[in-house]
Structure 1
Amino acid sequence: AAIASTDMGLLLRDDVFVDFFNTFLNLPVFGQTPIYISGTGQWNLWPELLSHLDPSPTALLAWLEKHRLPHFCKSSLCLHLVLCQKLLGFIRSEEAAELLNWRSADQWLLEKCISGSQGMQHFRAFVQGTAGEELTDFWLTTERLLGLDESDTSQRDLYLSLIDRLKASHLREGSSVITLCTTITGSLPKAKHIQSISNRRDILRKMQEQALFMIQSYWLPKFFTHCKMGIEAEESCQPLLQEYQTRLLQADWQEPSGFSETPSMMHIKRSQGLSGPYCSRKAKAKMWVLVKEGRGTQEMKRPSFHVKPERQPRSAGSTRELRLGKDAVGSTPQQSEHPANTALDGKGGVTPPRRSGAEQVSRLEDLCKEKILSSLPSSAPLVQLPSLKGSARTLSFLPWALSADSCAGRPFRDFLQHQDRPMETHLLDLWHDLEEFLPVVLDSSRENSFFLRHLTGDKICKTYLEEDNIQKLPLESRTLTKLWNHLIFGEFSPWIFRAQKEICKVLCCFYEEFLAADDRTFLQFMSPGGDVPVPEMQGLTADRAESFLLSQRINQTLKLSQALHGTRNLEGVSSESWQLLASRDLQKGGSTQAEMELLL
């Protein structure tokens, strides 16, 4: 997707960009996962650099511009950033104020609600199951397609795949896009003929503009009404409501720019005394080991009572997921006795008063014992969680990294291509296609799910499982045969997980090479002219409380990215959604830090 600039210094002055970029940077596929706090201008690195180094913000920006930004521009997060900016541009415009009779306070509140990656997730959850969902999906898919060059052989397969996806979903007779975008589609005899029309791009672009106008003029006002009602009903949002009411009394309107007018001096937080060679892979392993250690204490110290999670209504797709999980796979992931992503405040969801530093540390120690690794949600509805037996290994966490690779513009895939590994690249593509097939086949409530699951299943069979291609895959023949027998009919099969597990075993050592290469590149930028230590050991590491926060930050980032990417079902709007809105401040970490605020 096209962004306003490639100058990191300029981009980081935009708080909305910073929010999406922080979400991207913390995806677990990467070795170094920094976070930028725009309000103070501080970069927090993880893993931290060695204590004797004096890292330069200029060098960090150069590294980000070359080794992170290009992948961000290919990610679904970037597509949502572009859509978010277009919606914000409309909200701030005089046209919106006149058309919808919005006052300056209304525009301020709506901007607060929809800004950032969590804001876009909230908006998408609101329009879920409506024509607004299809219009939004169509806009995002078309934006990605129009950014491709079909004459480029490296992009042509993706381009044709997106065209097929549009034809199977949004450009079918009777779809919301065809029905609502009548001013454009009226000139088309049949939507299925769109691929044969020479000015296909112009037609899609005009349809996309029409879809965007309907989102802005119809669904945004409905979302605004929804937000006002939710804020009024949520106790933790009362300060936000009071500020909104105060702004209603102000006559003067100053249009917000979305940019930090006087950005703080950028700096990097100094290391806390780490020593020894820098190695992100071992740092990740040690972090998860510390999180895992809380389990033994939890089992010995059973509480005299426990909170039973409130039963939530499930869609037909969710019910089917549970049934398939027990019958087809044979076991289901372990569930914590507490909801996986809810802070245990014991006050019915209301965020308690801010605790002191000592209380926060004690609190996190307890949470680390209660919310152990087994409660962290997996990347797909039925993917088994990493085993808690034995030491942490790269293979245990590789499914999370591969899922994040899909959300992050596929940097691991680019690495395999640059290493001239066509077979491994082919395997990784199969892993991604299987993961994207799962939510389509397991959630029958999705619009056009019947056509999409048959389209995706047929594509997987033709690309990977036909006789000419099957010989290239180093997987068990029984696994490949079982996949073909089910996917050719667009059916779910537990052999999908078996195939993904076999793929992970093949790709594990290459992912470790990817992390090592990422470490070397990072150190070359941050320590120019110096000796770059060979990644072997990580010195001191974070304590258990900090490791718990890091694991939660990375996990929540992945959940959010998956929901926007489409490999995880969007969760409905709940009380937690409003608590996140109340705690979200784009200049203090935004969406990435909002989840952590609920824990402290």
Structure 2
Amino acid sequence: ISHLATQSPGNFLFSPVATIASTDMRLLLRDDVFVDFFNTFLNLPVFGQTPTFSSSTGQWNLWPELPSHLHLSPPALLAWLEKHRLPHFCKSSLCLHLVLCQKLLGFIRSGEAADLLNWQSADQWLLEKCISGSQGMRHFRAFIQGTAGEELTDFWLTTERLLGLDESDKSQRELYLSLIHRLKATHLREGSSVITLCTTIVGSLPKARHIQSMSNRRDILSRMQEQALFMLQSYWLPKFFIHCKMGIEGEESCQPLLQEYQERLLQANWQKPSGFSETLPTIHIQRSQGVTGPYCSQKAKAKIWALVKKGRDTQEMKMSSFQVKPERQPGPAGNTRESHLDKDALGSVPQQSDHPANTSFGGKGGVSSPRSLRPSAEQVIRLEDLCKEKIFSNLPSSAPIVQLPSLKKPVKTLGFLPWALSAETCAGRPFRDFLKRQDRPMETHLLDLWHDLEEFLPVVLDSSRENSFFLRHLIADKICKNYLEEDSIEKLPLETRTLTSLWNHLIAGEFSPWIFRAQKEICKLLCCFYEEFLADDDRTFLQFMSPRSDVAMPEMQGHTADRGECFLLSQRINQTLKLSQSLHGTSNLEGVSSEYWQLLAARDLQKGGSIQAEVEPLLCST
């Protein structure tokens, strides 16, 4: 295998700038791998309507359900998906992983791969089953975690996003330059894994940094991306295949899968899978079961959140203040020094138990890791006290007037808003687009700050990754420059103490619990606008699904669902968010365990795919 890594990519690669094959939903739904990634995307809790599609039956399941008296039109649903979901999917990290997954599958299915790696059709079938879908890509990324393969994958994904942008478009130029700076701070630094392994391009790279021509820069990055992909295909995929075979052999629940693999080995002319259905079952929508009330996704979400919250409120919420693990930092003369937090940085700020970095409704923190954090103190606080805490008493006098949600009554949406915003990070930023359309520059600016802080957390809390020191300083400098400098800080309607504390720590690239406080303040400011976003999403959905009917709008009493339905929905959304965050990078990938093999045994891309497989083990354990 090792000698393949030094060969030219040759004919194994596809176009370096890839997009999804079509914008025609009927055509896309014939691809089982696309359906799996798209289902994962649709179930992220940032959205109002969260439908799921089953390839085997052609059935769409809506949640919340529409009133039962309405005529459900599949063409109208597909038109709504094409206009109001697919564009956001194309901007999401899930779509980037879909493109990478398709390229890896293309290599697995190729005759060249079979010849060079001595793969039989049964081997190709098994590897395709292991890596297909969002769950398969998470397994692959968990396998290469901490290796050069992880750096090659991150470089490929970042470059894929960058090459898909038009730097001459003012609306895209800021993101384009941000990605360029990110690459220079990480993968394009001298001595990085990407520079070391992409040997055919490295000679021309230093000159490329000073070339003004965008076409030359694109050409160099494109060729480096091809080389990185070839390394993943020819070296890391075969290693992953061996890993999967060994794991399946040792897992009891995978014995039927192993038996089918062995049977395929005995049949030399077994037809190779294509992953694309020539025909699609007649698309239909599952009828509502006696739903008569008005349609309202916000109230439906609140009911699910109340079910999850009820289980958590029976116990006291334990609060931990954390200390960043000392990190070895490069000094000016090659020496190293340890970085410590200020001794007063922790414990002096009221923290929140449900900070936005948590991966899921009932899950553990996504960015905190035993490798990078250790508890130094514990404080018990009830969730009700957190909801009543007032944080707007010391707004700067120059702060613009922003409509705030009333704190006199509990705001149900505020409880799940941090998780909705975490999901928005993985979903192509639909809430941000809504704020832009509503001409809300201050709220858009606050949302950008929330997301930049969210991006900073996993980098600063996990120093084990290559070039994490340079990346966290890059992100911290960006936050300070865009939000916390003197001319900007006076315009933000957050507590002066919060902003000042953020500046004091981020200017040094340090972790601070004030990040959680700032995110909490932002959530309170954005809560009412997120409710407007959900209401707008509901109105748009109803206009497509029932253009000639008078359907009660979201302001009225909403959807009803029994406890069992709410539990299943909460688990599905919970696991979908966790899966998406691990691929996006806002939560740590867990190490490969027996759970991966159990999920593989349960996964069928035509019957719910990754999100169904994630929920089934939970149901079996209850």
For this structure pair, what is the TM-score category when the shorter chain's length is used for normalisation?
Answer: 0.7 to 0.9
Does structure 1 conserve the Cα–Cα contact (< 8 Å) formed by 2:346 and 2:512?
A: no
**How far apart are residue 406 of structure 1 and its match?**
1.1
Equivalent position of 2:525 in the other structure? 506
Counterpart among 18, 43, 68 of residue 35 in structure 2: 18
Distance 2:382 2:435 in 1: 24
Equivalent position of 2:200 in the other structure? 183
**How far apart are residue 545 of structure 1 and its match?**
1.8
List aligned pairs for 1:553-572, cutoff 5 A: 553-572=572-591
CA 1:83–1:505 in structure 2 vs 1: closer, same or farther (change >3 Å)? same
**How far apart are residue 438 of structure 1 and its match?**
0.2
Aligned residue for 1:43, secondary structure, equals strand
Equivalent position of 2:104 in the other structure? 87
* Residues 398-454 of structure 1, C-alpha deviations (whole Å, 9 max, x = no match): 111111111100000000000001111011000000000000000010111000000
Distance 1:506 1:293 in 2: 25
Q: Which moved more, 1:471-480 or 1:390-399?
A: 390-399
Does structure 1 conserve the Cα–Cα contact (< 8 Å) formed by 2:61 and 2:285?
A: yes
Aligned residue for 1:548, secondary structure, equals helix
**How far apart are residue 386 of structure 1 and its match?**
10
**How far apart are residue 14 of structure 1 and its match?**
0.3
Does structure 2 conserve the Cα–Cα contact (< 8 Å) formed by 1:520 and 1:532?
A: no
Q: Which moved more, 1:563-572 or 1:64-73?
A: 563-572
RMSD of aligned Cα (Å): 2.8
Residue-pair matches, total: 548
Distance 2:443 2:68 in 1: 37
Equivalent position of 2:157 in the other structure? 140
Counterpart among 204, 210, 220 of residue 221 in structure 2: 204
Counterpart among 414, 421, 426 of residue 395 in structure 1: 414
Distance 1:540 1:509 in 2: 20
Equivalent position of 1:167 in the other structure? 184
Equivalent position of 1:575 in the other structure? 594
The one-letter code matched in structure 1 to 2:615 is: M
CA 1:284–1:188 in structure 2 vs 1: closer, same or farther (change >3 Å)? closer
Does structure 1 conserve the Cα–Cα contact (< 8 Å) formed by 2:308 and 2:361?
A: no
CA 1:117–1:374 in structure 2 vs 1: closer, same or farther (change >3 Å)? closer
Does structure 1 conserve the Cα–Cα contact (< 8 Å) formed by 2:64 and 2:559?
A: no
Equivalent position of 1:369 in the other structure? none
Distance 1:386 1:590 in 2: 38
Aligned residue for 2:591, secondary structure, equals coil
Distance 1:499 1:401 in 2: 16
So what's the TM-score if we normalise by structure 2?
0.83
Does structure 2 conserve the Cα–Cα contact (< 8 Å) formed by 1:234 and 1:578?
A: yes
Equivalent position of 1:100 in the other structure? 117
Aligned residue for 2:383, secondary structure, equals coil
Equivalent position of 1:526 in the other structure? 545
* Residues 188-234 of structure 1, C-alpha deviations (whole Å, 9 max, x = no match): 34675467775000010000001000100000000000000000011
Aligned residue for 1:98, secondary structure, equals helix
**How far apart are residue 467 of structure 1 and its match?**
1.7
Does the alignment pair 1:435 with 2:431?
A: no
The one-letter code matched in structure 2 to 1:284 is: K
CA 1:449–1:34 in structure 2 vs 1: closer, same or farther (change >3 Å)? same
Does structure 2 conserve the Cα–Cα contact (< 8 Å) formed by 1:328 and 1:494?
A: no
Does the alignment pair 1:495 with 2:514?
A: yes
Equivalent position of 1:70 in the other structure? 87
Equivalent position of 1:226 in the other structure? 243
Equivalent position of 1:50 in the other structure? 67
The one-letter code matched in structure 2 to 1:401 is: A
Equivalent position of 1:32 in the other structure? 49
Does the alignment pair 1:246 with 2:263?
A: yes
The one-letter code matched in structure 1 to 2:363 is: L
Equivalent position of 1:310 in the other structure? none
Distance 1:563 1:328 in 2: 31
Does structure 2 conserve the Cα–Cα contact (< 8 Å) formed by 1:33 and 1:47?
A: yes
* Residues 222-277 of structure 1, C-alpha deviations (whole Å, 9 max, x = no match): 00000000000111111111110110001113221111233211111111111121
Distance 1:316 1:226 in 2: 33
Equivalent position of 1:303 in the other structure? none
Does the alignment pair 1:122 with 2:169?
A: no
Aligned residue for 1:586, secondary structure, equals coil
Counterpart among 440, 448, 456 of residue 475 in structure 2: 456
Equivalent position of 2:426 in the other structure? 407
The one-letter code matched in structure 1 to 2:282 is: M
Aligned residue for 1:283, secondary structure, equals helix
CA 1:520–1:43 in structure 2 vs 1: closer, same or farther (change >3 Å)? same
Equivalent position of 2:555 in the other structure? 536
Would you tell me which structure has more helix in proportion to its own residues? Answer: 1
CA 1:295–1:81 in structure 2 vs 1: closer, same or farther (change >3 Å)? closer
**How far apart are residue 326 of structure 1 and its match?**
8.5
**How far apart are residue 392 of structure 1 and its match?**
6.6
Equivalent position of 1:474 in the other structure? 493
Does the alignment pair 1:375 with 2:371?
A: no
CA 1:523–1:215 in structure 2 vs 1: closer, same or farther (change >3 Å)? same
Does structure 2 conserve the Cα–Cα contact (< 8 Å) formed by 1:167 and 1:191?
A: no
Tell me the percent identity.
Answer: 79
CA 1:552–1:273 in structure 2 vs 1: closer, same or farther (change >3 Å)? same
Distance 2:218 2:457 in 1: 30
Aligned residue for 1:105, secondary structure, equals helix
The one-letter code matched in structure 2 to 1:493 is: S
Equivalent position of 1:484 in the other structure? 503
Distance 1:283 1:247 in 2: 46
Distance 2:564 2:381 in 1: 21
The one-letter code matched in structure 2 to 1:509 is: C
So what's the TM-score if we normalise by structure 1?
0.86
Distance 2:270 2:199 in 1: 37
Does structure 2 conserve the Cα–Cα contact (< 8 Å) formed by 1:77 and 1:407?
A: yes
Distance 1:295 1:203 in 2: 52
Equivalent position of 1:416 in the other structure? 435
Does the alignment pair 1:597 with 2:616?
A: yes
Aligned residue for 2:205, secondary structure, equals coil
Distance 1:486 1:171 in 2: 27
Does structure 2 conserve the Cα–Cα contact (< 8 Å) formed by 1:380 and 1:435?
A: no
CA 1:539–1:197 in structure 2 vs 1: closer, same or farther (change >3 Å)? closer
Distance 1:374 1:90 in 2: 38
Distance 2:353 2:345 in 1: 9
CA 1:198–1:89 in structure 2 vs 1: closer, same or farther (change >3 Å)? closer
List aligned pairs for 1:150-165, cutoff 5 A: 150-165=167-182
Aligned residue for 1:572, secondary structure, equals coil
List aligned pairs for 1:297-446, cutoff 5 A: 333=353, 375-378=362-365, 380-381=367-368, 387=383, 393-446=412-465
The one-letter code matched in structure 1 to 2:433 is: D
CA 1:260–1:6 in structure 2 vs 1: closer, same or farther (change >3 Å)? same
Aligned residue for 1:587, secondary structure, equals coil
CA 1:413–1:42 in structure 2 vs 1: closer, same or farther (change >3 Å)? same
Does structure 1 conserve the Cα–Cα contact (< 8 Å) formed by 2:300 and 2:559?
A: no
Does structure 2 conserve the Cα–Cα contact (< 8 Å) formed by 1:386 and 1:397?
A: no
Aligned residue for 2:53, secondary structure, equals strand
CA 1:206–1:386 in structure 2 vs 1: closer, same or farther (change >3 Å)? farther
Does structure 1 conserve the Cα–Cα contact (< 8 Å) formed by 2:155 and 2:187?
A: yes
Aligned residue for 1:375, secondary structure, equals coil
Equivalent position of 1:345 in the other structure? none
Distance 2:585 2:382 in 1: 22
Counterpart among 268, 280, 293 of residue 276 in structure 1: 293
The one-letter code matched in structure 1 to 2:179 is: L
Distance 2:381 2:465 in 1: 26
Does structure 1 conserve the Cα–Cα contact (< 8 Å) formed by 2:498 and 2:518?
A: yes
